[in-house]
Amino acid sequence: MTVQIGVVMGSSSDWDTMQHAVQILQEFGIAHEARVVSAHRMPDDMFAYAEAAAGRGLQAIIAGAGGAAHLPGMLAAKTTVPVLGVPVASRHLQGVDSLHSIVQMPKGIPVATFAIGTAGAANAALFAVALLANHDPALRAKLEAFRSAQTEVARNMTLPPA
Ligand code: RP5
């Protein structure tokens, strides 16, 4: 089966965050892969991954990194496959450094940037699902059902007495 969505991250230490993207892709039955591709420790592998992405049929790459988080931007520089960037919370600056590194791409090379941490990882995957759903009515129905389920959960929320 052709992999549709690539999930890459700079380190295995990013997995706690990035697994939330993978869980969403699994839930929606999206063909995906997850790998460590470090921008500064494996730059040649990173370029090779980006260069092969379109030819392999990837529809989007979800890239998570922390600190001086250049992985999403450098991937985007080497492919026109959409790159969805997830800032991973860093030890010292809590991911604000990661967010700024990923979101502040100069004009011309876009990276769609999501929230710091697990919400960003999950939302990047939901965004990828939405992209695929544009050409897949059954997947769109699943996404709508997911939203409806969330709505029901919110409607049934109760609050404790003040
Ligand atoms: C980045 O450096 C990774 O994305 C990770 O968030 C951060 C720390 O990596 P480790 O030192 O935990 O391997 O490249």
Which pLDDT tens digit goes with each residue over 14-56?
999 999 999 999 999 999 999 999 999 999 999 999 999 999 9
**Using a 6 Å CB cutoff, which residues line ligand 1?**
9-11, 13-14, 38, 65-67, 88
Give nearest CA residue, ligand 1 atom 2: 66
Residue 1 has pLDDT above 90, yes or no: no
Nearest CA-CA partner of 111 in 58, 62, 47, 56: 62
Q: Is residue 57 part of a domain?
A: yes
Q: Where are the beta strands (DSSP E) in 31-111?
A: 32-36, 60-66, 83-88
Look up the domain containing 18 and give its range.
5-155
Q: Is residue 162 part of a domain?
A: no
Q: Is residue 160 part of a domain?
A: no
Q: Which atom of ligand 1 is nearest to the CA of 10?
A: 4
Question: What does the DSSP 8-state code read for residue 117?
Answer: S
Tokens 């502040």 locate to 104
Task: Name the residue of 7, 13, 74, 97 to mutate for ligand 1: max ligand atoms within 8 A of Cβ.
Answer: 13
The ipTM assigned to this model is 0.97
Q: Is residue 147 part of a domain?
A: yes
Q: What is the pLDDT of residues 119-156, one digit of tens each?
A: 999 999 999 999 999 999 999 999 999 999 999 999 99
Q: Is residue 141 part of a domain?
A: yes
Residue 7: pLDDT band with limits 50, 70, 90: very high
Q: What is the pLDDT of residues 58-116, one digit of tens each?
A: 999 999 999 999 999 999 999 999 999 999 999 999 999 999 999 999 999 999 999 99
Q: What CATH number did the domain enclosing 85 receive?
A: 3.40.50.1970
Record the pTM: 0.97
Question: What does the DSSP 8-state code read for residue 81?
Answer: S
User: How many structural domains comprise the chain?
Assistant: 1
Please check whether residue 144 is in contact with residue 126, taking contact to mean a CB–CB distance below 8 angstroms: no
Residue 107, pLDDT score: 98
Q: Is residue 161 part of a domain?
A: no
